[in-house]
Amino acid sequence: MKINRVGYALALVVAMVFTVPQPVSAIDLLPDFLKKLKFNDKVWSEEEQFVALAPQSEGGAGAAPNSHPAKLDAKDLRDALSSLEFWPEGGFLRSATAEHVFGEGQATLIATYAVDALRKAKPNEDVIFNVRGYDNIAFDTVKERQWTSGRLFVVDGKINVIIGSYRLKKDRGIRNAEAAHGTLDDYSDMYFDPGTRDRMTAKMQGRIAGTAGVTFSAAGPEARPDWVVIDVPTAIADYRDRQIAPEEKERNAKAKQETAKLTMERREMREEMARMRQEIKDLKSGGSVKDTRSLEERLATLQELRRKELISEQEYKRRRDQILNDI
């Protein structure tokens, strides 16, 4: 018997809508796979977003132990995550079209709770996360939700980040069908992949770019575009430097040069004043003063002291006469 395709599709939509459970709490909205996944400790959760401690990875038995517990500064972790750039065209080097893997809000959110999780973490535990972002659609008048999930852990002082789901979006057909029946903001059917050491799972149209302090977990053909290792001091120094506008860098460089010049001049002036005081002391005690510098150098130094008002006009004339008397 031939089944009417339109009727079958309508029946499927109706069945899907009326079988959706009514949310009772934020935990109830978690996808089924997260309910089955063993959480050792849920550090933070809000609707479908979370930061938690979990076993190293599915099938991760035998993996080298992490350097946990680990103490990190939240701002440093935030900037380390913010330093990660995504190259849609692939390859291993950053290009002019590179984008940030995490938005500012996402990096801040992960870092805020991950530092606490890492302090509690055991060597056989990872921090897993899922954070929400937004993509502009319809001529930037509508924002569409998207999610990035994965895991991070510390080994030998460096942060490892594995991306599982990258900018994942809910299927528009399902979303529109749910909205038509009054069901909004239900993401319990979505799969937010926390990533794994065992295999590459991230559906990324490109790769994370290699920037200062950011390397891949392996080299050559074995390199995974979804798994990077971050040398925190190097990565955040480079990231923070890139946040400074070229004009401001130029102003800062000039200010440093001027400060260094003034410091040198002041030191030279102090040395000259000390030498002059010693000469005056020697003369008053009846001794003689020997100066190996040329006449021109001595007069030039004296004029510079007067120009900068480090000596009075009377002192200048007296010392000038003394120098000229040595001819």
Q: Please list the helix, strand and coil fractions of the chain in percent, rounded to the nearest 5, in that order.
A: 40, 20, 40
Q: What pLDDT tens digit does each residue of the chain (327 aa) get?
A: 444 444 444 444 444 444 444 333 334 444 454 555 678 899 999 988 999 999 997 555 567 899 999 999 999 999 999 999 988 766 555 555 778 999 999 999 999 999 999 999 999 999 999 999 988 665 555 678 899 999 999 999 999 999 999 999 886 665 655 555 555 666 777 888 999 988 887 777 778 888 899 998 876 667 788 899 999 999 999 999 988 887 877 787 778 888 887 888 788 778 777 777 776 666 556 555 555 567 777 788 878 888 877 778 888 888 888 777 766
Q: Does 145 share its domain with 61? A: yes
Rg (CA), the chain: 34
Report pLDDT for 210: 82
Q: Does 28 share its domain with 133? A: yes
Report pLDDT for 234: 97
Q: pLDDT of 158-209, one tens digit each?
A: 999 999 999 998 866 656 555 555 556 667 778 889 999 888 877 777 788 8
Q: Does 142 share its domain with 273? A: no
Q: Does 37 share its domain with 142? A: yes
Q: Does 270 share its domain with 309? A: yes
At 201, is the secondary structure helix, strand, or coil? Answer: coil
Report pLDDT for 49: 93
- Which structure tokens are listed for 130? 């899922």
Q: Does 146 share its domain with 285? A: no
Q: Is residue 12 part of a domain?
A: no
The percent of residues in the chain predicted with pLDDT above 90, rounded, is 33
Q: Does 234 share its domain with 267? A: no
Q: How many domains does the chain have?
A: 2
Backbone angles phi, psi at 136, to 5 degrees: -80, 130
Q: Is residue 249 part of a domain?
A: no
Report pLDDT for 219: 66
Q: Are 194 and 164 in contact (CB under 8 A)?
A: yes
Q: Is residue 254 part of a domain?
A: no
Q: Does 220 share its domain with 79? A: yes
Q: Are 194 and 50 in contact (CB under 8 A)?
A: no
Q: Is residue 247 part of a domain?
A: no
Q: Look at residues 195, 214, 242 and tell me which one is the last residue of a structural domain.
A: 242
- Enter the pTM of the model: 0.66
Q: Is residue 165 part of a domain?
A: yes
Domain span including residue 312: 262-325
Q: Is residue 16 part of a domain?
A: no
Q: Does 312 share its domain with 221? A: no
Report pLDDT for 33: 46
Report pLDDT for 207: 80
Q: Does 80 share its domain with 224? A: yes
φ/ψ bin of 206: left (φ > 0), alpha (ψ from -120 to 50), beta (otherwise)? left
Q: Is residue 175 part of a domain?
A: no
User: How far, in Å, are 129, 130, 279, 294 from residue 31 at the CA level?
Assistant: 14, 12, 87, 86
Q: Does 196 share its domain with 93? A: yes
Q: Is residue 11 part of a domain?
A: no
Report pLDDT for 190: 82
